[in-house]
Amino acid sequence: MKKGWVVFLGLIGLVVVIALFFGGTYNGLVRAEETVKQAWAQVENVYQRRLDLIPNLVETVKGYAAHERETLLAVTQARSRAAGTLSPEILSDPQKFAEFQQSQTALSSALSRLLVVVEKYPELKANENFLSLQAQLEGTENRISVERGRFNEAAQAFNTKFRQFPTNLIGGFLGFKSKEYFKADAQAAVAPKVAF
């Protein structure tokens, strides 16, 4: 009878240890995933700030450079596409994440073209409203870069934890997936040509 109790208590102890191990692993993955989600929320926040600044910038430029319609239209369309890619599913769908990144790259490119057009209009470059918007946009671009870096750090911490044994087995069984990283724009690999 005493031997039966020892075996029974031993089995209960083993079940408790296994449950604590699985619970600890699950909780660690949840904490890491929540850190990724929080970092993503900050990324969305700064991208939304940029989306909010663009209409004001376009309207200011439109008053001075009305015949630059094609460039202004390209910026507006790129903004619309970028706004359409903001969705909660981005973190769980690599294809949506890639679409989001492509739309943001296209928007950055359109904004760059707009700022090149502005160089033709000295009176616009002297406009206080435009200068303020341009400074806010530059600050927002810096914030985007910082928040993307923080997101990548959080994604790396999650992915490292997720890929380690035996967490990879437990996490995969419980439905966790690795997180995507922001990558450099493909055009960033080509150095600009400088001619004097």
The pTM of the whole model exceeds 0.75: yes
The whole-number pLDDT of residue 188 equals: 52
Please determine, for residue 126, whether its predicted confidence score (pLDDT) is greater than 60.
yes
Condensed to tens digits (0 to 9), the pLDDT of residues 14-53 reads 999 999 999 999 999 999 999 999 999 999 999 999 999 9
| 65 closest CA partner among 142, 118, 28 | 118
Q: What number is the average pLDDT over the span 52-62?
A: 89
Reading the block at residue 62, the tokens are 């439109």
pLDDT at 154: 97
pLDDT at 21 (0 to 100): 92
Distance from C-alpha of 97 to C-alpha of 87, rounded to nearest angstrom: 9
Whether the per-residue pLDDT at 194 is higher than 70: the answer is no
Residue-level pLDDT at 192? 44
Domains of the chain: 11-182 (1.20.1440.20)
Q: Give the Cα separation of 25 and 114 in Å (integer).
A: 50
Chain mean pLDDT for the chain: 88
Residues 6+ apart with CB under 8 A from 156: 181
Query: What 3-state class would DSSP assign to 182?
Result: coil
Per-residue pLDDT reduced to its tens digit, 147-178: 999 999 999 999 999 999 999 999 999 999 99
First and final C-alpha spacing in the chain: 95
Instruction: Reply yes or no on whether the pLDDT at 8 is more than 80.
Output: yes
